Amino acid sequence: MKSMSDRKGGNLRRERFRIWLISLPRSTKMIIALHADLVGLSFCTFASLWLALGQLEFWPKPILACLVATLVGVALIWAQGLYRSVVRYLGSAMYLAAARSAGGSALVGAALFFGTGMPIAETTRWALTFWFAAFLYICTSRQVAQWSLIRPRANVERERVIIYGAGQAGAQLAVSLLGA
């Protein structure tokens, strides 16, 4: 059983990591999210192919179609503005953007699979499976980021402060005030 000091140490490391992640520049956070989406959507395309066919057939055309569907998905996520969104303020519009991104990517992937000679029934099965997996991945990844990065407010009365300016110093001050 973990001792109290072990749990405090784990919480402290988690909190430091959270603050470090929050204090990263916006462009770095966007790059991290983009790479995570490349990996996550790649997994969704190949998992959907496996579920639709019952096996993975690694020949060049399906692999190329999976990679193109992944890249189209990331481009659509970018076009929907999900990389520019602040995780704290994601709301119901995120679900619509995720559905559009997953749907567009599924349509492009289905067209590519159909073009490689895959039967229409398997192509449709892949597209529906991929849409569901991609939608679930996009929504879940943003929700997990939101839950893990935002610390619940303590029931402590605090003095309200306005920080004027949006530079690096203002961001650092906000992070340090939130940690206090």
Query: What pLDDT is stored for residue 3 in this prediction?
Result: 54
Q: Which pLDDT does position 180 carry in this prediction? A: 52
Q: Is the pTM of this model over 0.85?
A: no
Count Cα neighbours of 158 within 13 Å in the Cβ-side half-sphere: 11
Q: Around Cβ 108, how many Cβ atoms within 10 Å?
A: 19
* Torsion-angle region of 4 (φ positive above 0: left; ψ -120 to 50: alpha; else: beta): alpha
User: How far from each other are the two terminal CA atoms of the chain, in whole angstroms?
Assistant: 30
At 17, the amino acid letter reads: F
CA–CA separation, 26 and 23 (whole Å): 9
Q: What is the mean pLDDT of each run of 10 residues along the chain (180 residues)?
A: 56 80 86 94 92 72 87 94 75 89 95 88 92 95 82 64 77 71
Q: What's the sign of the alpha-carbon dihedral 69, 70, 74, 75?
A: negative
Q: How far apart are CA 69 and CA 63, in angstroms?
A: 10
Query: Can you tell me the distance from the alpha carbon of 180 to that of 176, in angstroms, rounded to the nearest whole number?
Result: 6
